[in-house]
Structure 1
Amino acid sequence: MHIGIIGGGHVGQALALALRRAGHHPTLLLRDLARGGGDAVAPLAPLPGAEAYILATPHEAAEEALAAVEPGTVPVLDATNPLAMGPDGLDLAFGFDDSGAERIARALPGLRLAKVFNTTGADVMADAARFTPRPVMFAAGDDGYARTIAIQLATDIGFEAVDAGPLRAARLLEAHAMLWIDLAMRRGLGRDFAFALRRAGTP
């Protein structure tokens, strides 16, 4: 697939590397946007022939970054998390009764949106296949085709991809991402770990 990756930070670069290794054709379209300010970014020019976009900017830059994506066309896969600094450090800006993905969907009606690639770190996404068992990656979305593409791409780059249901489930996925961030940054696990599903009776 020809995939436009919106955002050239750690996540965007990791996904580009992994997708290229899996035989896809990713193109980085924007440098990462500085959280909380920075220079204005030129409007995104649509990628000719794009079959999907991955949003890998800071969450607060999402609407600006997606302004050139025509609603109802190709899927957009939201890899962002709505993070903010709180009294105890980095935390979710909001959650449990709303999600960053749902806010994007409300701001850009008709966007074929799915939530995916947000629940683990860039180092894991760059080479998920090196983990045994395979790390889990969840995908949620109200658009069935966008969710299918999210699951397929996550599988292609080495994850055990799990359908998490409608976009409302992004509230749970963003909280799951915060757990990974907390364990990595505050609890000493570092960035080289991932969650996996283990079923009874499997080795």
Structure 2
Amino acid sequence: MRIGIIGKGRVGSALAVGWRAAGHEVQLGGRETSPNASEIANWADVVVLAVPFAALESIAQTIIAADKPVIDCTNPIAMGPDGMGLAIGHTTSGAEQLQAKLPGAHVVKTLNQVGAEVMADTTGFAHAPVQFLAGDNEAAKKVVASLLVDLGFEPLDAGGLSKARLLEPFALTWINQAIAQKHGRDWAFGAMPRTVK
């Protein structure tokens, strides 16, 4: 599968490593570098937005991703008097706002709940790390779930895209534990069904 990643930072580079190792064809581009965001989106079967949340507005104005899954890895985080918090929430989410800007695309919220270190390498865990996903198009979610498995994650469907209102603050839980509580960045959430009662 052709995966076009817009964003060459830690997250975009980490995802490229994982998906290339799984045999996918991956291109990375930026807003102003070559290939640019528009070229990446035109080429790809799946578009991945691995940029700061503040960059989504300008990127959405330059790409067309009709009938394609668009993975939104971003989180609408802002600094407040008590530290990091959500810039938006409750009645909308960053992913829903992105979908409104890309009405022909199929936005799927995922890969926002763990750090780049785990995205690049999911080995060494007792259980596959969980990655929730939310989106309104079932076919797009199936494609994205398969790509999550290729990275070594256990995908869990959270429901429609409005459930991104749950996933974006969930990312803050990981950030709080990793940074404020000093657990470091090399860990992830897992789902452990009870096997014995």
TM-score, normalised relative to structure 1: 0.89
- Listed as ranges, the gaps of 5+ residues in structure 1 are 32-40
Structure with the larger helix share: 2
Displacement, 1:149?
Answer: 1.5
Alignment of 1:119 with 2:103, yes or no, is: no
Structure 1 moving runs of 4+ over 4 Å = none
Query: Considering only aligned residues, what root-mean-square deviation do their CA atoms show, in Å?
Result: 1.7
Question: 2:16 matched to which residue of 1?
Answer: 16
Aligned-partner Cα distance in 2 for 1:97–1:26: 35
Question: 2:124 matched to which residue of 1?
Answer: 130
Give CA-to-partner distance per residue, 1:64-116, whole Å, 9 cap, x none: 22334324332111010001111122221122222110111122222211111
Write the letter of the residue equivalent to 2:29: L
Match of 1:58 among 36, 52, 55: 52
How many residue pairs are counted as aligned between the two chains?
193
**Local SS of the residue matching 1:190:** coil
Give CA-to-partner distance per residue, 1:123-165, whole Å, 9 cap, x none: 1111113322110001110122221121111111100111111
- Listed as ranges, the gaps of 5+ residues in structure 2 are none
Aligned-partner Cα distance in 2 for 1:191–1:148: 28
Residue identity over aligned pairs, in percent, reads 44
Displacement, 1:49?
Answer: 3.7
**Local SS of the residue matching 2:67:** coil
**Local SS of the residue matching 1:28:** strand
